[in-house]
């Protein structure tokens, strides 16, 4: 199509919908000061405090009572006395909930940090209750400064999180860094996975390298060749009792080689040194790991929580062959879905289809066509996702949350393709092979935003066609005694694909996201469009017996005329291959719109066609040489009358 222009929602706006900015504030770096002292933050922004030499805290107060804990306020807990110029591994992060000023101080009494002016604000006004005025009040505040009596971190209304990062196997060394952790109850210990194949499993002091008999944590094995992998395992320190953990990898005896650690180990008696020695003494007894993972903790890969898995959280490749961070090979049709993609999709294909004893050729044809469409969609979405992911050529275009959404759409297309192949396999019917596709957005890197635009518009067309075919399939298989079982799966897929279309519409800055756009197109027309526009070569793909033996010529849409306000298309000109060689004239354009809409208008001299006023949103056009066609009929009724098409046209905002 020549003249549609697609615009992308400004990145800043998407970022605001998706996630706030992240601010870093240093605490006690070089002086008794927060730096910056005041942060201008928007709702949804996060503020991370990093702690330096001497024991500091960040504690919330009111403006009127500096150095006094605000009722329901946050408290970071004190952090260890670390280096003057290297931040402590423990951080505290709050989330800004509104634009009202937030006041805070360091509650260290040894040296009266607050009264010395170690105070801080978020969104302090520039007149009246300013940061300077707050500092003046702090200087006169009564001593000592206040901390919660139990000295444990408090989340408060701003959801403060105290976190310690632990590197797992950094630089391929068999160790946790740090391994000798002293942390307050309530702190999140976040294990970050590095290359090799490690795990973090809780044990008792007495039995190193074996899981706790009940209730211990386990990350499961997280193999990766990528650094940083983006995979983390988070646990929360429950109390101040000692916690012992190890890596259960038997290849290389990680635990016995000292890849163990402790949280709050005593400094005498059962020390970490004693635990390391005990672990070394078990050499010869293989380490074990609980069969399920994760247990008592959360595995996250670049922001996506992984619910359950069995050892394949991350792509097995080192990512260098691909185009971006999210690269993983697309499984061939009929192969099992990798757990990572199943998690990205938010679930697997239906568990129970209630398969009847036999299946009709019509149903087989629809299943093969759905496999065909989902394979193209999967390749489009997965390729776009890998370009948009960290390391990909479009990595700066969207925030990670949007990239993850596209990844989950790709993974859902894989689940949908598996729905079709599972059913075909059940009835011993032929699966199609995968084809090579024309993905125009992958060529030429000169204008990434235009390419992202092209990617979105390809995905959108495929989604609309998939919905059209699902609708046609539902209408037809539901009339067969042994076809009705498929209807719930088809309807679920329409729901998923409708949501995906809404996301793509939103990214294209179209109002239409919530409008009805479920267009019903005879499956054969959709097949023709996809084969013509997206398939490069399908040598390995089996033929779909129920599909026509010819691809229809493409309709070119030209001279798009609009109303004065530019909001609605009123007239177009259509051209197609062999236009004047066709036998029977006159011709009509059949306009196939949302909700079963079908209109026919005559093609006038010069190929001009008026757009029916009742249409809105996306409309598909087909050139026919007879006026008497209807939707929902057998393709036989269309077969003899279609001349060219289909093609898509954006007619107006609804």
Ligand X SMILES: *[C@@H]1O[C@H](CO)[C@@H](O)[C@H](O)[C@H]1NC(C)=O
Segment interacting with ligand X (CB under 6 A) among 352-360, 447-455, 467-475, 621-629: 352-360
Q: What is the C-alpha end-to-end distance of the chain, expressed in Å?
A: 21
**Ranges within 205-244 binding ligand X (CB under 6 A):** 221, 223, 226, 228-230
Residue with tokens 């005593």: 266
Tell whether residue 574 is a contact of ligand X (CB under 6 A).
no
Residue 360 binds to ligand X (criterion: CB under 6 A): no
Task: Return phi, psi of residue 33, to 5°.
Answer: -150, 150
Least Cβ distance, residue 438 to ligand X (angstroms)? 26
**How far apart are CB 261 and ligand X at their closest, in Å?**
9
Q: Which is nearer to ligand X, 363 or 458 (CB)?
A: 363
491 near ligand X, rule: CB under 6 A: no
Shortest Cβ 478–ligand X spacing (Å) = 15
Q: Which residue is nearest to ligand X (CB)?
A: 230
CA distance 433 to 634: 27
Interacting positions 185-204 with ligand X (CB under 6 A) = 197
Could you tell me which stretch among 16-24, 353-361, 376-384, 443-451 binds ligand X (CB under 6 A)? 353-361
**Which CA distances in Å does 591 have to 67, 461, 532, 533?**
71, 16, 20, 20
Cβ(583)–Cβ(639) below 8 Å: no
Least Å distance, CB 178 to ligand X, is 8
Q: Does 325 bind ligand X (CB under 6 A)?
A: yes
325 vs 541, beta carbon nearer ligand X: 325
- Shortest CA distance to 607 belongs to which of 553, 552, 556, 570? 556
Closest distance to ligand X from the beta carbon of 9 (Å): 24
Distances (CA, A) of 623 to 524, 576, 644, 647: 14, 9, 5, 10
Report whether 393 contacts 447 (CB < 8 A).
no
- Residue from 54, 56, 461, 579 binding ligand X (CB under 6 A): 54
User: Taking the complex as a whole, how short is the minimal distance between the CB of residue 520 and ligand X, in angstroms?
Assistant: 28
Q: Does 645 bind ligand X (CB under 6 A)?
A: no
Choose one: 310-318, 411-419, 551-559, 616-624; the region binding ligand X (CB under 6 A).
310-318
In the complex, minimum distance from the CB of residue 400 to ligand X, in angstroms, rounded to a whole number: 8
CA–CA distance from 85 to each of 27, 170, 339 (Å)? 11, 22, 42
Peptide bond into 646 cis (omega under 30): yes
Window 386 to 415, contacts with ligand X (CB under 6 A): 389-391
| C-beta closer to ligand X: residue 211 or 315 | 315
180 binds ligand X (CB under 6 A): yes
CB 441 within 8 A of CB 384: yes
Beta carbon nearer to ligand X, 226 or 380 = 226
The bridge status of strand 180-181 relative to strand 231-236 is unpaired
Residue 361 sits in the site that holds ligand X (CB under 6 A): no
Nearer to ligand X, 177 or 250 (CB): 250
Query: Residue ranges of the alpha helices (H) in 303-399?
Result: 339-345, 361-388
In three-state secondary structure terms, 420 is helix
Determine if 302 is a binding residue for ligand X (CB under 6 A).
yes
* Residue 358 engages ligand X in binding (rule: CB under 6 A): yes
Task: Output 69 or 313, the one with its CB closest to ligand X.
Answer: 313
Q: Is 314 in the site for ligand X (CB under 6 A)?
A: yes
Closest separation in Å from C-beta 325 to ligand X: 4
Nearer to ligand X, 12 or 267 (CB): 267
In sequence order, the β-bridge partners of residue 575 are 556
Q: Which DSSP string do the residues of 515-532 spell out, in sequence order?
A: S---B---HHHHHHHHHH
From the list 418, 407, 409, 405, the residue with the least C-alpha distance to 349 is 418
What is the closest distance, in whole angstroms, from the C-beta atom of residue 268 to ligand X in the complex? 8
Asked if residues 7 and 508 have their Cβ atoms less than 8 Å apart, the reply is: yes
User: What is the C-alpha to C-alpha distance for residues 536 and 442, in angstroms, rounded to an integer?
Assistant: 14
Compare residues 72 and 252 and give the one whose CB is closer to ligand X. 252
Which of 128, 149, 269, 357 binds ligand X (CB under 6 A)? It is: 357
> What is the pattern of x (binds ligand X, CB under 6 A) and - over residues 254-283?
-------------x----xx----------
For ligand X, the closer of residues 263 and 380 by Cβ is 263
Measured distance CA(497)–CA(503) in Å, rounded: 10
Binding-site member from 148, 331, 334, 356 for ligand X (CB under 6 A): 356
* Nearest approach, Cβ of residue 412 and ligand X (Å): 17
Total residues interacting with ligand X, rule: CB under 6 A: 34
> Could you give the maximum distance between any two Cα atoms of the chain, in Å?
98
What lies within 8 Å, CB to CB, of 100 at 6+ separation is 123
Which single residue is written with the structure tokens 């679920």?
492
Cβ distance to ligand X smaller for residue 325 or 607: 325
Contacts (Cβ under 8 Å, ≥6 apart) of 127: none
Binds ligand X by CB under 6 A, chosen from 311, 346, 632, 633: 311
Interface segment toward ligand X; rule CB under 6 A; list 60-68, 149-157, 246-254, 641-649: 246-254
Among 208, 290, 319, 483, binds ligand X (CB under 6 A): 319
Closest alpha carbon to 439 in 541, 369, 536? 536
Q: Does 249 bind ligand X (CB under 6 A)?
A: yes
CB of 82 to ligand X, least distance (A): 7
DSSP string, 459-500: HHHHHHHHHHHHHHHHHHHTTSTTTGGGHHHHHHHHHHHHHH
Nearer to ligand X, 10 or 252 (CB): 252
Q: Which residues pair with 610 in a beta bridge?
A: 571
In whole angstroms, the minimum distance from the beta carbon of 315 to ligand X comes to 6
What minimum distance in Å lies between the beta carbon of 385 and ligand X?
Answer: 9
Q: How far is CA 566 from CA 505, 509, 563, 653, in A?
A: 19, 16, 5, 11
Least Å distance, CB 425 to ligand X, is 19
Answer whether 277's CB lies under 8 Å from 199's CB.
no
**Among 255, 259, 301, 557, contact with ligand X (rule: CB under 6 A):** 301
- Comparison of 3 and 317: residue with beta carbon closer to ligand X: 317
User: CA 516 to CA 534: how far, in whole Å?
Assistant: 25
Q: For residue 171, report the phi and psi dihedrals to the nearest 5 degrees.
A: 55, 35
Give bridge partners of residue 571 from the DSSP assignment: 561, 610
**Which residues bind to ligand X, rule: CB under 6 A?**
53-54, 81, 84, 180, 197, 221, 223, 226, 228-230, 249-251, 267, 272-273, 301-302, 311, 314-316, 319, 325-326, 356-358, 389-391, 482
């Amino acid at each position: 199509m020549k003249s549609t222009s697609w615009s992308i929602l400004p990145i800043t706006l998407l970022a605001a919908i998706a996630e706030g900015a992240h601010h870093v504030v240093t605490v006690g770096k070089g002086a008794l000061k927060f730096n910056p002292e005041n942060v201008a933050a928007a709702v949804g922004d996060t503020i991370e405090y990093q702690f330096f030499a001497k024991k500091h805290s960040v504690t919330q107060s009111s403006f009127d009572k500096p150095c006094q804990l605000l009722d329901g306020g946050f408290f970071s807990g004190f952090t260890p006395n670390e280096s003057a110029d290297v931040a402590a591994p423990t951080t505290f992060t709050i989330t800004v909930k509104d634009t009202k000023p937030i006041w805070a101080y360091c509650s260290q009494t040894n040296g009266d940090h607050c009264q010395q002016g170690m105070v801080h604000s978020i969104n302090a006004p520039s007149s009246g209750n300013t940061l300077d005025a707050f500092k003046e009040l702090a200087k006169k505040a009564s001593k000592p400064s206040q901390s919660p009596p139990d000295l444990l971190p408090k989340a408060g209304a701003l959801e403060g999180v105290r976190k310690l990062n632990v590197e797992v196997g950094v630089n391929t060394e068999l160790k946790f860094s740090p391994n000798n952790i002293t942390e307050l109850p309530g702190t999140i210990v976040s294990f970050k996975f590095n290359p090799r194949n490690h795990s973090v499993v809780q044990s008792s002091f007495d039995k190193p390298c074996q899981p706790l008999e009940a209730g211990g944590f386990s990350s499961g094995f997280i193999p990766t060749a990528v650094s940083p992998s983006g995979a983390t395992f988070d646990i929360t320190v429950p109390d101040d009792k000692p916690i012992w953990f190890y890596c259960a990898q038997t290849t290389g005896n990680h635990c016995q080689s000292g890849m163990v650690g402790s949280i709050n180990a005593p400094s005498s008696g059962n020390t970490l040194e004693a635990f390391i020695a005990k672990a070394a003494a078990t050499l010869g007894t293989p380490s074990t790991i609980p069969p399920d993972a994760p247990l008592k903790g959360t595995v996250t890969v670049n922001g996506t929580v992984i619910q359950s898995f069995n050892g394949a959280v991350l792509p097995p490749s080192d990512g260098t062959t691909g185009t971006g961070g999210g690269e993983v090979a697309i499984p061939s049709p009929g192969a099992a879905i990798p757990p990572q993609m199943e998690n990205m999709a938010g679930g697997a294909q239906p568990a129970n289809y209630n398969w009847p004893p036999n299946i009709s050729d019509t149903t087989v044809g629809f299943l093969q066509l759905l496999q065909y469409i989902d394979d193209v969609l999967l390749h489009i979405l997965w390729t776009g996702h890998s370009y948009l992911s960290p390391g990909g050529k479009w990595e700066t275009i969207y925030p990670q949350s949007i990239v993850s959404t596209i990844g989950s759409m790709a993974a859902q297309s894989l689940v949908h393709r598996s729905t079709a192949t599972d059913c075909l396999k059940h009835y011993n019917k032929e699966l199609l092979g995968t084809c090579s596709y024309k993905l125009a957005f992958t060529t030429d890197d000169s204008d990434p935003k235009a390419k992202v635009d092209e990617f979105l518009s390809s995905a959108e067309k495929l989604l609309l066609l998939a919905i059209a075919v699902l609708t046609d399939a539902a209408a037809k298989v539901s009339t067969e005694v042994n076809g009705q079982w498929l209807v719930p799966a088809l309807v679920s897929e329409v729901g998923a694909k409708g949501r995906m279309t809404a996301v793509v519409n939103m990214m294209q800055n179209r109002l239409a996201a919530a409008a009805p756009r479920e267009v019903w197109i005879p499956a054969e027309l959709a097949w023709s469009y996809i084969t013509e526009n997206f398939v490069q070569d399908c040598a390995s793909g089996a033929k779909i017996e129920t599909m026509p033996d010819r691809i229809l010529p493409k309709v070119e849409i030209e001279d798009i005329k609009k109303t004065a306000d530019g909001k609605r298309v009123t007239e177009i000109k259509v051209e197609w291959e062999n236009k004047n060689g066709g036998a029977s004239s006159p011709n009509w354009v059949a306009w196939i719109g949302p909700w079963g809409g079908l209109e026919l208008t005559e093609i006038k001299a010069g190929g001009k066609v008026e757009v029916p006023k009742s249409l809105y949103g996306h409309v598909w056009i087909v050139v026919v040489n007879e006026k008497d066609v209807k939707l929902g009929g057998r393709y036989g009724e269309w077969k003899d009358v279609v001349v060219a098409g289909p093609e898509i046209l954006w007619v107006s905002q609804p």
